Amino acid sequence: MKAEDVEQIKVVNWVKQCTTLPVIHVANERSCSPAQGSMLKRMGVRKGVSDLFFPRAHGKYHGCFIELKTLKGKPSVEQIAFIDEMNVEGYFSLVCYGAEEAIETLQIFYNL
């Protein structure tokens, strides 16, 4: 299991145990054949989509996207572009480094 996966599991476990927030993981990290990849793109899979989506509006925002990285991780160009696009579309979207930062962000954003 990758370190980033461990951090994400910590966040999702906290959300499920301590909140009523709905949470969705976007599984973009899969491996597949070129033919499957082509089909998935035609079906709407998009490179750079954030790891976690919280489909609950708060304040002026429609919901929250979090791209979760390890403390040493770096977002890709596509991930930064997706975050910027979602912020323009009215979502609170950002990169968090580690589970603790993601949990703290959710607590502050959703007043938990």
Q: What is the CATH number of the domain that holds 76?
A: 3.40.1350.10
- In this prediction the pTM is 0.90
Sheet hosting strand 64-69, strand order edge to edge: 24-25, 52-54, 64-69, 92-97
CA–CA separation, 110 vs 13, rounded Å? Answer: 17
CA–CA separation, 67 vs 84, rounded Å? Answer: 12
> pLDDT digit string (tens) for 4-28?
889 999 999 999 999 999 999 987 7
State residue 29's pLDDT score: 67
Q: Mean pLDDT across the stretch 55-69? A: 97
Tell me how many domains the chain contains.
1
Q: Mean pLDDT across the stretch 36-44? A: 80
Average pLDDT, the chain: 93
- Closest listed residue to residue 57, CA positions, set 12, 99, 21: 21
Helix (H, G, I), strand (E, B) or coil at 97: strand
- Closest listed residue to residue 23, CA positions, set 86, 89, 110: 110
Q: Cα angle vertex 9, ends 32, 13, to 5°? A: 140
Q: Mean pLDDT across the stretch 92-109? A: 98
Range of the domain at 40: 3-109
State residue 39's pLDDT score: 81
* Alpha-carbon dihedral angle through residues 58, 68, 26, 84, given to the nearest 10 degrees: 60
Q: Mean pLDDT across the stretch 28-47? A: 79
